[in-house]
Structure 1
Amino acid sequence: MSLGLLGALLAAVAYGAATVLQAIGVRRIAAVPAGTSLTARISAGWPYGVGLALDGIGFLASVAALRTLPLFLVESAVASSVAVTALLSVLVLHVRLGAGEVIALVAVAAGLTGLAFAAAEGPAAQTPTSASSWLLVTAGLVAALVGIGYRDRDHRRGAVLLSVAAGLGFGGVGVAARLLVVPSPPWHLVTSALAWGLLAHAALATVAYGLALSRGRVTTVAALTFATETVVPALVGLLVLGDRVLAGRAPLAVASFVVTLGGCIALAGRAEPTGPAPAGGDEGPPASTRPDVHERQ
């Protein structure tokens, strides 16, 4: 197994585990009686902090994977963190999965395996000279979409717009990470337009996803976000950046991509698992986590 593929799988595991830990942390905090000191609340919600740390590890692992793997593989792997969440929900939160969800888990595993066999490793073959400018322009477009979705009085339509904006933002992070070359010394990144474009997309995506969750159903929001952030960067990688599929394996790559994405969307309802209800029956607020840079969502 290559280091890039290992990084992509590590990102999926880290993001999936982070979601479960954050769900547990939020519910533990909600179960603390009113008037409890801040220190006690922080102590009760320690899993949430661990989840945030795992989000950071997942982000770094995905960036490392993008140095040598095409976007269609890494973004699919990151989206598959919902499969990790589903499995951990069974083991940790004792959630029961239906037959359809089990089939979706198998589909995700099979799809990722197919993508790993089909993808050609290596850095981006083409780096457009205007890439930095385009990333900043698209960040502006995402910001506009967030504004339109936020102001839309129809919450359902607003949730759709915000979900798409989140997907485009997280996708922009992937594209920027694929192109970014870390200079020596690293602090020269402060003058890199690509680095600023990455940060802008990450911030906008995080805000958009949180707003979308406040207006729409988790399943719908997660599905739209996953679909957008997986499909759009994959197309950009193949059509613009020169990401390649090994000779003769294009049909395998297409089929595997479709199967993986379909399985992730089917599991999208597990993007925010419901933790164990605290004493007194108060379910508490849902965890706000997503499989990409945030906190992350």
Structure 2
Amino acid sequence: MLFGMVCALGAALCFGTATVLQAMAARAAGAGGGGDAALLLRALRQWRYLAGLALDGVGFLLQIAALRSIPIYAVGAALASSLAVTAVVAARLLRVRLSRVEWGAVGVVCAGLGMLALASGTEGDKGGPATLKYAMLGAAFGVLLLGAVGGRLAGRGRALLLGLGAGFGFGVVEVAVRLIDGVSPGALLTNPATYALLLGGGAAFLLLTSALQRGSVTTATAGMVIGETIGPAAVGVVWLGDRTREGLTWLAILGFAVAVTGALALARFGEAPVVEPTARQG
């Protein structure tokens, strides 16, 4: 239990810090000309961008370890808390000014995670119905369809739908990890959950990138947080046997709600704010 929670919080720390490092690299690389491809190539020459990618990789491995150790609802809430990490790191490295409400939201997220840590039980021991793996694969295709529909909208509706779709995609990944029984090549290639994980994760990144590029960061991130926490948590409880410690179900529900609410209050940090430097940086 402790191992899983440490892994989940470690993943949140990695993801949140990676966001700030990549934002700093993008800012430094944005001085040149060219389109998105040229910007990406310049960013890849920045050590901060490469460090951010490395942290994303470590965070993903920690996320997998957490999902194999503690309930999905605890992991989802912990990953949503990466917004609090981004906010704190951005305040230090990017000199982003946090309001009192936002500092309060950071504290709320920490309080919610503390309650979850006290109330969460171990990972559920059920494999779910045989059709659940195929349902996750179908859900991954549904994320792509949702992206196609959302891409035709404009304004906040577009950002919300794409962000929500991205959250569903990340949620598919969370559930699919629990549905993968073996890691041998044969077991992975014949398991529909493997393809659900790859398709859901890829679709989620595409939808979130599109939402952040052409819509409100706050709206898109809020949709993502809702999509990646509530649905997967419900699947874990209903079909995979995720439970709380004896008599502490109420505390787990309260902690989950508090942590997610705090994360939503920090939604503008879904993409670390880029502040123009006042002096040339070396």
2:172 pairs with 1:172: yes
Give the direction of change, closer, same or farther, for the CA distance of 1:156–1:271 in structure 2 (3 Å limit): closer
Q: Counterpart in 2 of 1:245?
A: 244
- Corresponding position of 1:277: 276
Match of 2:130 in 1: 129
Q: Deviations over 1:166-205 (max 9, x none)?
A: 111111110111222233x356423321111100100111
Paired residue for 2:163? 163
Give secondary structure in 2 for the equivalent of 1:31. coil
Give the secondary-structure state (helix, strand or coil) at the position aligned to 1:262: helix
Contact 1:70/1:124 (8 A) holds in 2: no
Structure 2 equivalent of residue 86 of structure 1: 87
Kindly state the Cα deviation for residue 44 of structure 1 after the two structures are TM-superposed: 5.1
1:202-243 C-alpha deviation (Å, 9 max, x unpaired):
011111111111232101110111111111111111112111
The residue correspondences of 1:222-233 to structure 2 (distance < 5 A) are: 222-233=221-232
Q: Distance in 2 between matches of 1:260 and 1:125?
A: 26
Q: Following superposition of structure 1 onto structure 2, how do residues 1-297 of structure 1 map, counting pairs within 5 Å?
A: 2-32=2-32, 41=42, 45-152=46-153, 154-183=154-183, 185-186=184-185, 188-278=187-277
In 2, distance between residues paired with 1:23 and 1:148? 29
Do the aligned partners of residues 144 and 41 (structure 1) sit closer, same or farther apart at CA in structure 2, a change above 3 Å counting? closer
1:60–1:224 distance in 2 versus 1, CA, 3 Å: same
Q: After the TM superposition, which of the residue ranges 163-172 and 45-54 deviates more from structure 2?
A: 45-54
Q: Distance in 2 between matches of 1:169 and 1:262?
A: 20
Structure 1 contact 156–215 (Cα < 8 Å) conserved: no
- Bigger shift: 121-130 or 111-120? 121-130
Identity %: 40
| Counterpart contact for 1:8–1:77, Cα < 8 Å | yes
CA change 1:120–1:113 in 2 (3 A) is: same
How far residue 163 of structure 1 moved from its aligned partner, in angstroms, is 1.4
Of structures 1 and 2, the one with the larger relative CO (CA 8 A, separation 6+) is 1
Structure 1 residues 42 and 139, CA gap change in structure 2 (3 angstroms): closer
Q: What stretches of structure 2 of length at least 5 have no aligned partner?
A: none
Q: Deviations over 1:258-296 (max 9, x none)?
A: 110010000111222223414689xxxxxxxxxxxxxxx
Return the TM-score normalized by structure 1. 0.87
| Displacement of 1:93 | 1.5
Q: How many residues align?
A: 277
> Which residue type is aligned with residue 27 of structure 1?
R
Instruction: Give 1:19 shift.
Output: 0.3
Three-state SS of the structure 2 residue aligned to 1:151 is coil
1:31 CA displacement: 2.6
User: Within 1, Cα distance between the matches of 2:23 and 2:42?
Assistant: 15
Does the CA-based 8 Å contact 1:108-1:264 persist in structure 2?
Answer: yes
Pairwise CA distance, 1:131: 1.7
Structure 1 residues 42 and 248 mapped into 2: Cα distance closer, same or farther (>3 Å)?
closer
SS in 1 for 2:97: coil
